[in-house]
Amino acid sequence: MTKTVAAASGAGFREAPAGSEPAVELDGVTIEFALAGGSVFQAVARADLNVGKQEFVAIIGPTGCGKSTLLNAAAGLITPASGSVRVLGGPLDGLNRHAGYLFQQDALLPWKTALDNVAIGLEVAGVPSREAKERARAWLARVGLAAFGDRYPHMLSGGQKKRVALAQVLIRDPRIILMDEPFGPLDAQTRLIMGDLLLKLWSADRKAVMFVTHDLEEALGLADRVVVMSAGPSARIIGDFPIPLSRPRDISEIRLDGSFQELHRDIWHMLKKEVLKAYGEIAQETAS
Amino acid sequence: MRRTSLLLMQGAVAVVIIAFWQIASTTDLIGDPNNISFFFSTPLAVAAQIWMWFATGTIWHHLGITLWESVLAFVIGSVAAVGIGFWFARKPRLAAVFDPYVKAANALPRVVLAPIFTLWFGLGIWSKVALGVTLVFFIVFFNVYQGVKEVNTTILANARMLGMNDRQLLRHVYWPSALSWMFSSLHVSVGFAVVGAVVGEYLGAAGGLGYLIQQAEGVFDVAGVFAGMVVLAAFVLLIDWIVTLAERRLLVWRPEFSKSGR
């Protein structure tokens, strides 16, 4: 829809017409943390990144490079020291109300059942409890946990917890989905299955996605674009690769694709240096 | 271990102790039975005393008083502690100002307060309730305070990203977290409520298990003292069992209390 509008307005427009601005615009975002003793640690330096409204962007970089920090800035959990964060065309003030956030760690409310955990996002938004529960039940079915509604989080496996968390985020129908290595703690097979599930749910009504990971294969399998960050501190965005692989994708099979391997080689070439740099940093720290 | 075999073995411990006690206090095997039975009484005399209390029904009056004092102490102490613990945890400056006073009050041996409470609240149940409250309050207070302060930051961030405002965070995150910490100290706080009641009665009262024991001690009625202790022990076990049942219901979301895998 928005694409045709943008195309039709044709020549003569200087700015993108209303409605076609990116979902998330990071402009010169620098993030600093005050350390004990008064010094300042710069985690991210002057990051520019736009994420389109229906775009799936993976952010990849070595461990500790500030990927999650950048994501938290988009979520409004962290305020940048300088630079601007714009969401759906407007400046971000406080928490990002348009975003859903899937955390790396367990973030379900342990005292609520799976069903109540999924329903809570609707309930706090004022949806009547009965309707919220009904919709939560449908979402649990969609993530394959129809029979697990009355389980408490501790009774679920890691993968099941992630499914509940995914339903918890998606039921609110956020226009932007932020994911911080959501499948990081899972085993390899469960990650593949969760990736496929995520793509299936996402392709139903494409939302803007920022997906942080350190796993290049995961990034390539899922994303429309892969953004590479340098090693920290003062991490920068150093690469931006479009991933023109066709959709729908089967994550486990797409790895055998020739162009997948080519992209993998190109991006890994860039990433490897940063990973080694990050390790060098760690080696120096331990040596000194 | 199987439940029945566990119960059997637990029963066996009581049987061995009572048998030893009976032999020591009625035969020459260990020492002079007159001497031993003077200091330790005999199981039969203790049992007879307990039987008489229950047969005549006098014990119910005392048990009722102790129970009522314990319940009041627990409820008042817990409610006050949850309220103040919550308030302090949400207002760190307030907590910092009162910190030395809370610590000082907690370090004070409560027994020294008993005479003052008797002076303030009289010999009736309220001086015992007050003593129990001072014991229960601090246990629950520190747990609730900790529970609110140490809410998992990821869970908190997630709740905020799910759109909760401050009031909803309080209701769906802080409150359950604080309550779970309070419940985790339930056995201790309920136990202290009973201790407060019994010690208070012991130091001056007109009824209750502590009063009963104190009266028996006053006339060197050793059988009466032991009988009082046995009834008190049974009373505490019963309350502890009720607490365990309550815990299983309330903390069903915690791994250690769920039925699965047991």
| Binary contact (A111, B176; C-beta < 8 A) | yes
| Residue A201 to residue A100: CA distance in whole angstroms | 14
> How would you write the pLDDT of chain A (288 residues) with one tens digit per residue?
343 333 333 333 334 444 467 899 999 899 999 888 888 888 888 889 999 999 999 999 888 778 889 999 999 999 999 989 999 988 988 899 999 999 999 899 999 999 999 999 999 999 999 999 999 999 999 999 999 999 999 999 999 999 999 999 999 999 999 999 998 888 888 888 999 999 999 998 899 999 999 889 999 999 999 999 988 788 889 989 999 888 888 888 888 888 899 999 999 998 888 888 888 766 666 665
Q: Scan for tokens 């920022």, then name that residue.
A: A210
Average pLDDT over residues B24-37: 85
The ipTM (two decimal places) reads 0.84
pLDDT digits (tens, 9 = 90+) for A146-183: 999 999 999 999 999 999 999 999 999 999 999 999 98
Measured between CA atoms, the residue of chain A closest to residue B156 is A107
| Residue A76 to residue A94: CA distance in whole angstroms | 5
| Short-list A215, A148, A186, A182, CA closest to B158 | A182
pLDDT at position B1: 67
- What are the DSSP calls for B140-204, one per residue? HHHHHHHHHHT--HHHHHHHHHTT--HHHHIIIIIHHHHHHHHHHTHHHHHHHHHHHHHHHHHHS
pLDDT at position A288: 59
pLDDT digits (tens, 9 = 90+) for B66-82: 999 999 999 999 999 98
pLDDT at position A256: 87
Interface mutation vs chain B, best among A96, A105, A109, most B CBs within 10 Å: A109
| Binary contact (A121, B260; C-beta < 8 A) | no
- Which 8-state DSSP code applies to residue B111? G
pLDDT, mean over chain B = 89
Peptide bond into A248 cis (omega under 30): yes
Interface mutation vs chain A, best among B150, B161, B175, most A CBs within 10 Å: B161
- What are the DSSP calls for A50-77, one per residue? EE-TT-EEEEE-STTSSHHHHHHHHHTS
Contacts of range B249-258, beta carbons closer than 8 Å, 24 or more positions apart: B250/B183, B251/B180, B251/B183, B251/B184, B252/A152, B253/A110, B253/A111, B253/A112, B253/A113, B253/A152, B253/A153, B253/A154, B254/A110, B254/A154, B254/B180, B255/A154, B258/A152, B258/A154, B258/A155
| Residue B81 to residue B102: CA distance in whole angstroms | 12
| Binary contact (B158, A77; C-beta < 8 A) | no
pLDDT at position A20: 66
B167–chain A nearest CA distance, Å: 10
Spatial CB neighbours of A94, under 8 Å, sequence gap ≥ 6? A76
The shortest CB-CB distance from B154 to any of A97, A103, A168 is to A103
pLDDT digits (tens, 9 = 90+) for B133-177: 999 999 999 999 988 888 889 999 999 999 999 999 999 999 888
pLDDT digits (tens, 9 = 90+) for B98-141: 999 999 999 988 888 888 998 999 888 999 999 999 999 999 99
Query: CATH fold of B43-257, please?
Result: MetI-like fold (1.10.3720)
pLDDT at position A118: 95
Q: Do the beta carbons of residue A170 and residue A149 sit within 8 Å?
A: no
Q: Which residues on chain A are in Cβ contact (under 8 Å) with B172?
A: 109, 112, 120, 124
Spatial CB neighbours of A53, under 8 Å, sequence gap ≥ 6? A2, A20, A22, A23, A175, A207, A208
| Short-list A35, A18, A22, CA closest to A176 | A22
* Residue B157 at interface with chain A, using a CB cutoff of 8 Å: yes
pLDDT at position B75: 93
- A57 bridge partner residues: A210, A225
| Residue A158 to residue A162: CA distance in whole angstroms | 6
* CATH number of the structural domain A20-91+207-288: 3.40.50.300
| Binary contact (A154, B253; C-beta < 8 A) | yes
pLDDT digits (tens, 9 = 90+) for B216-247: 999 989 999 999 999 999 999 999 899 888 88
pLDDT at position A282: 67
| Residue B210 to residue B131: CA distance in whole angstroms | 13
* Residue B176 at interface with chain A, using a CB cutoff of 8 Å: yes
The shortest CB-CB distance from B260 to any of A75, A153, A155 is to A155
pLDDT at position B259: 53
The shortest CB-CB distance from A124 to any of B154, B168, B252 is to B168
